Amino acid sequence: MRHSFFSLIRNALGHHREWPPLWRDPDPKAAYDVIIIGGGGHGLATAYYLAKEQGLGRIAVVEKGWIGGGNSARNTTIVRSNYLWDASAHLYEHSLRIWEGLSRELNFNVMFSQRGVLNLAHSLHDVRDAHRRIRANDLNGIDAEWLDPTKLASYCPLLDISPEARYPILGATLQRRGGTARHDAVVWGFARAADRLGVDILQHCEVTGIPREGGKVTGVETTRGVIKAPKVAIVAAGHAGTLAAMAGFRLPLVSHPLQALVSEPMKPLLDCVVMSNAVHVYVSQSDKGELVIGAGIDPYAGYAQKGSFSIITEQMGALVSLFPRFSRLRMMRSWGGIVDTAPDASPIIGKSPVEGLYLNCGWGTGGFKATPGSGQVFAQTIARDAPHPLVVPFTLDRFTTGALVDEHGAAGVAH
Amino acid sequence: MEQPFRLKAGGRIDRTRPLRFVFDGKGYSGYAGDTLASALIANGVHLVGRSFKYHRPRGILSAGAEEPNALVQLGLEPRLVPNARATQVDLIHGLEADPVNCWPNVRRDVLAGLGLAAPLMPAGFYYKTFLASRHLWRHVFEPLIRRAAGWGRVPEDPDPDVYTHRHLHRDVVVVGAGPAGLAAALAAARTGARVALIDEGTEPGGSLLGQTRTLDGHPADQWVAEGREELSHLPEVLVLTRTTAAGLYDDGTTVVAEERLTDHLTSHGGHGPRARLWWLTSKTVILATGAHERPIVFPENDRPGIMLASAARTYALRYGALPGKRMVLFTTNSAAYESAIDLQSRGLRVEAIVDARPDPSGPHVDMAEALGIHIHKGCAVTATDGRHHLESVEIMLLSPDLRTVQAPRKLIECDLLCVSGGWSPVAHLYRHAGGQVEWNAEVRGFTPVPGPGLPRVVGSAAGTHALSQALERALTAGAEAAREAGFGDGSASSAPRVTETDALDGMDLWRVSDQPGDGGRAIGRPGHLSFVDLQNDATAADIDQAHREGLTNVEHMKRYTLTGFGTDQGKTSQVNGAVILARAVGEGPEAARLTAQRPPYTPITFGTLAGRRVGGLLDTVRETALQDIHRDLGKNGGAVFEPVGQWLRPRFYPKAGETMDRAVARECRAARQEAGLLDASTLGKIDAQGPDVVEFLERIYATPVASLPIGKVRYGLVCKDDGMLVDDGTLARLEETHFHLTTTTGNAAWTLNWMEEWLQTEWPDLRVRLTSVTEQWAVLALSGPKAREILAPLAPGMDLSVEAFPFMTWRAGAVAGIPARVFRVSFTGELSFEINVPWRYGPALWKALLAKGAPLGLTPHGTETMHVLRAEKGFILVGQETDGSVTPRDLGLGGMLKTKRDFIGKRGMARSDLQRPDRKVLVGLRTDDPAQVLPEGSPIVEAMSSARPLPMLGHVTSSYLSPMVGRVIALALVKGGRERLGQTLQVPLEDGDLAKVTVVEPVFWDPEGKRRDG
């Protein structure tokens, strides 16, 4: 059933009893052409594009819990493409362009809203880096502009731009095409669309082993039995390292908790995304009215999906300093996820040391924005057993060659 | 009439202190001791808000933290509190409160008609439409949805209040001061243990407050008072009220709690902080967090006048406020009968008890019958009526399988419907610590599953509803917790004898169908919605729909229907929603799973979280010993500062009427022609010593260390393991196994951490001690052709000649009578002495140098001049010429790297990409226009065009107008830059113009290095 306003009216007449399941709940088949490990946004997008654009027929997504229950459900939903390095800029811009038509493509409103993303500059160093990034974005065909404090004050009047601030705001970069999307809807939209193309979504199906023969992957061992496939893809943020270990190799990833939180729902007030690295916090307001707030990772490595309270108090100090009017609002809920981060803070996409086993991991704190683009280029990489041109810079062997895409140092854009 | 629903007597309110307040623009009165909710009830006000989606009239459901409906905007600017729960707001004189999400007022809400559109707004309707255009979504539909959503308003003004944090260690922390918590705290405190007892309420006592039952023959209030009294005499006991435990952190050892300090005192701000965040770290934690009564899901269960049975009783007994005149009780258990009996005894007329059980029995059932209350057995409420307030309920007979209802319908007029569907233990904090809950058929709720390392849970939070049992177990738990912490022998006194309530001999009735004979499916007919989550208007039909659409995992259902998504975080809806979903799947409550519960328990103020570290106090401001001098220098109020990390450094020292450019030009000329003076105290300084210090530094630095003789200084490079330059500085060898290291200002802490990380985690065998001495040494860099002439008279004991004190050496001695270490290093290319003296002597040295030097032209300069001078020499600035992707070789520093010895980054540098000939390398740029300063960060291209993406060759890292060179100079990183020397490239500018530049060597001043010796 296609979604539309008319189908909504038609179903209202039937008391909404006729809506079909968004996706089926099939039993695992004995074998597939491709098995995707990880039912998050990236995994489901990969399955969708494999089925839609690569013409592969038998595809399964195996998920140890419920789809979208990992980082897809735990991020702060920011979408932008204003990265410094060419390789990143091209990949994220590719993704942003897909975002712009995604609701229609999936026939599911992912609530992608181009409300603009601000990155604040608090020092001469920040200003220099911001300028560098804007100019690089421009030459890469990505919209970017500089707002001086006066323009910034009219664009986002909530910000405290007084020069007396501890770290005064000297201006900001703005990507108007950036924004936010509804993270659950992205997962469900891709799941529904993939399911319609015949993809089996297998929830509560945890991978316990990755069997190989003669250096080639042969499928996966799961809590729902052995499933065969000549091609297997690891798309499991937070657990890429443990899955790689099952396949007998190590990844240059470190896993850290990352927390986020929301305020109580408020009447609409903040109509853009604000990010600051120096006064470390980022915030947007959801359609339901909550301020969605994130900051930095917990410094210690770990697999627990929760973090330290001190991190939250620090980020709230930053938030209230930037937005003095927010002080009397209240935190309604906080949560944590696990981010797999590579040494250069860029993702690892492509082939693995095991034949037939592919990797899409290491997105660190910034993977959500790449969801559709990542799925699309990764699908082609799997289908053709060769990296898509956009992921060539992101293959695992960059750690051998040294051709890193270091987004840590680059303009300090950590997210 | 004032407070028409106030009882003549009774309740824990102070009738001698009447208070005036305003709600929704209308004045009322209440008493000290009231909550806003109890005062409204005493005034007969039940309609307090509008629901989220359909704007249906909503009333007060509960008397506590679980309240989903009664959200109010509290106070006046600038002390607004959005989304306050009226059930937990202490009434104060002059309080102003407004309902949220309605306009112009709660009775005549313009969006009230939205309920009629409910059929078009089922769960997740917004995912299925508004798909056509992202622009329409962004500019039309989304703004409409956003405007309709959200509760309170954000204050217009900054918060005038302050907040604070306090950390405390305890032996036992007890959360919740109801009967169980109080008993546990008493038992623990009697052993001498340090105990903290915290409670969200205004006073300890919890469910006992104002109650009719007795303990050891005395009224419950007396037992509570005696307990408080005893605790107040124990010196190691801390009792915190109005303090909500928000979360349990750090493996269940730290309770984080917000104490509200002034909101209950005055509406215009109190003295001292508004709230305090407690970090209570303890050896053992006892949770006595109680239980929340569950509503029953039935058609139209959301009208004002429908209230939890225990809440109605609390309002009457604790606050002396009657929530109605004629009530019906709809229950699944005998415990709720107590509410009907107590309310009847307070003058409320109980029209009927509707008991879902076909055959209820027990002492309270007998008592109710003896009082002449009519009990409709095996029945359920199937509909309600009343526009702004309940007027009647309709009841029908339940079928034996409980899934459908049967005629005849019976209408009962009433203005209060008390509801009890059982009790849900509060295991919020237990789950923060990793504890699990499971369905407990006996308790008919989800109770904590005990496990190692988890907190003790007592009272109704553990599912122990019988008071005598709860007290007994709590006393034992308190004594045992204290013993575990090293106090007492674990034995506890015996529990008081109590008058017991009826056991929870209830039944499960999760949902009343509104469709006779139908298969139990409640259908979203307009006006016949059965609400699960009252705040978010999530209905049972929504859950059915989620199930039909395959969202059978409870987390999916939650996200799709918004059940449990509100400010109450599902305290009254989570269990009902989970079980209704389980039943849709065809399973019982035992198969239901609850969604994750995460901190905070109830919403916690941002300001409290931030504490003192906001605004100007957000981060430490670091100042050198000379900061006052910098401030005073010059006639226009001293230096212009720039933040560098946590430091505020002088950027330049303008004279009266001088622009930055002119000031910097003057400072530059002085440094090159006479002498300049820079406060370089912010440079990171590390004292490194120990038998293995040479080995350690050899591994850390990419440049050689061991060959450095005592008395000499060397430039050092630190790389990360990927081979990229991350910091630079100097190493001075003080003794055989003792070095003085410097780092950049911005990276000082990072570099020390980096060294410590390797030392502590990878090479713990190395005997090395690293100590930050950044703030032990004030550093003044005296630089320029007259530097020696200025310094000589101040350092008579020091031979400053080139032969005796050559470049890259250091000497100890007295300068201006101050013990000093003098380093002959240069960041300007001129003859320089970096004079290190103990921090507090910095000002004295500065003054002495200027006294001698000023007549010779010595001029203080700031960071801007330092940047120009070093750029003229082609010296890099880490963070400006580097960005984590630049190797020493890229910067032309390859010759300094060790070739034989290993160091961090050596393998990284050996990788093929780092050997590529076309890497971006440091070059100089000469602009065609000698006055064209290039914006730093600008890209460099072969030839500008409109093609996108347009390949970039690199970027401008530094660019200044050099007064000595007489033109603009620039440094840049350019692909294959060495091969491009002499080539003309383009720098596109912001305004669309192009700057033409020629690639040149990156040294613009004294390329032969003749000036460094003066």
Q: What is the mean pLDDT of residues B532-561?
A: 95
Angle between helix axes B363-370 and B337-345 (nearest 10 degrees) is 30
Q: Is B131's CB within 8 Å of A133's CB?
A: no
**Which residue spans of chain B are classified as CATH 3.30.70.1400?**
686-773+889-913
By C-alpha distance, the chain A residue nearest B600 is A333
Residues of chain B with C-beta less than 8 angstroms from the C-beta of A165: 615-616
- B526-537 burial, b at 16+ Cβ within 10 Å, e below that, comes to eebbbbbbbbbb
Interface with chain B: mutation pick from A129, A327, A398, highest number of B CBs within 10 Å: A327
Asked if this assembly's ipTM is beyond 0.95, the reply is yes
Cα torsion angle, B713, B715, B721, B726, sign: positive
DSSP at B993: -
By C-alpha distance, the chain B residue nearest A159 is B158
pLDDT band at A408, cuts 50/70/90? confident
Q: What is the CATH number of domain B916-1014?
A: 2.40.30.110
Q: What is the CATH number of domain B163-288+425-484?
A: 3.50.50.60
**Which residue spans of chain B are classified as CATH 1.10.10?**
530-611
How do residues A272-313 score in pLDDT, each as one tens digit? 999 999 999 999 999 999 999 998 899 889 888 888 999 999
**Closest alpha carbon to B878 in B716, B705, B722, B1000:** B716
pLDDT band at B991, cuts 50/70/90? confident
Q: Is B610's CB within 8 Å of A86's CB?
A: no
How do residues A313-363 score in pLDDT, each as one tens digit? 999 999 999 999 999 999 999 999 999 999 999 999 999 999 999 999 999
**Closest alpha carbon to B568 in B64, B36, B45, B23:** B64
pLDDT band at B636, cuts 50/70/90? low
Q: Is A264's CB within 8 Å of B616's CB?
A: no
Residues of chain A with C-beta less than 8 angstroms from the C-beta of B535: none
Does domain B686-773+889-913 match CATH 1.10.630.10? no
Please check the confidence at residue B400 and state whether its pLDDT lies above 90: no
By C-alpha distance, the chain A residue nearest B247 is A309
C-alpha dist (Å) from residue B747 to A407, B757, B774: 18, 15, 12
- What integer pLDDT is reported at residue B210 of this predicted model? 86
Interface with chain A: mutation pick from B146, B249, B913, B993, highest number of A CBs within 10 Å: B146
**Which residue spans of chain B are classified as CATH 3.10.20.440?**
1-158
Domain B1-158, CATH class in plain words = alpha beta
> What's the fold here for domain B294-422+504-520?
FAD/NAD(P)-binding domain (3.50.50)
**Which residue spans of chain B are classified as CATH 3.50.50.60?**
163-288+425-484, 294-422+504-520
Most confident of B10-19, B113-122, B358-367: B10-19
CA distance B939 to chain A (A): 6
Cα torsion angle, B870, B871, B875, B877, sign: positive
pLDDT band at B367, cuts 50/70/90? very high
Please check the confidence at residue A167 and state whether its pLDDT lies above 90: yes
CA distance B704 to chain A (A): 24
Which residue from A3, A89, A406 is facing B885, i.e. has the nearest CB? A406
pLDDT band at A414, cuts 50/70/90? very low
- What integer pLDDT is reported at residue B180 of this predicted model? 97
Q: Is A328's CB within 8 Å of B79's CB?
A: yes
Burial of B659: CB neighbours in 10 Å, binned 0-12, 13-18, 19+: exposed
Please check the confidence at residue B471 and state whether its pLDDT lies above 90: yes
Angle between helix axes B179-189 and B467-484 (nearest 10 degrees) is 30
Q: Is B605's CB within 8 Å of A329's CB?
A: yes
Q: What is the CATH number of domain B530-611?
A: 1.10.10
| Integer Cα distance of B472 and B322 in angstroms | 33
pLDDT band at A5, cuts 50/70/90? confident
Q: What are phi and psi of B665, to 5 degrees?
A: -60, -45
Which residue from B151, B165, B613 is facing A264, i.e. has the nearest CB? B151
How do residues B766-792 score in pLDDT, each as one tens digit? 999 999 999 999 999 999 999 999 999
**Planar angle of CA A341, A347, A351, nearest 5 degrees:** 120
| Tokens matching residue A227 | 């499933």
Q: What percent of chain B has pLDDT over 70?
A: 98
Residues of chain A with C-beta less than 8 angstroms from the C-beta of B642: 123-124
Which residue from B130, B151, B545 is facing A266, i.e. has the nearest CB? B151
Mean pLDDT, rounded, of chain B: 94
Which residue from A140, A329, A402 is facing B722, i.e. has the nearest CB? A402
Q: Is A321's CB within 8 Å of B83's CB?
A: no
- Residues paired with residue B707 on neighbouring β-strands, in sequence order: none
C-alpha dist (Å) from residue B488 to A50, B261, B492: 67, 34, 9
Contact B526, B118 (CB under 8 A): yes
Alpha-carbon dihedral angle through residues A134, A139, A143, A147, given to the nearest 10 degrees: 30
CA distance A289 to chain B (A): 4
| Tokens matching residue B44 | 């007969």
By C-alpha distance, the chain A residue nearest B142 is A287
Q: What is the mean pLDDT of residues B920-929?
A: 97
Q: What is the mean pLDDT of residues B331-336?
A: 93
Interface with chain A: mutation pick from B606, B614, B985, highest number of A CBs within 10 Å: B606
| Integer Cα distance of A75 and A40 in angstroms | 12
What is the rounded end-to-end Cα distance, in angstroms, of chain B? 96
Please check the confidence at residue B481 and state whether its pLDDT lies above 70: yes
Q: What is the mean pLDDT of residues A83-93?
A: 97
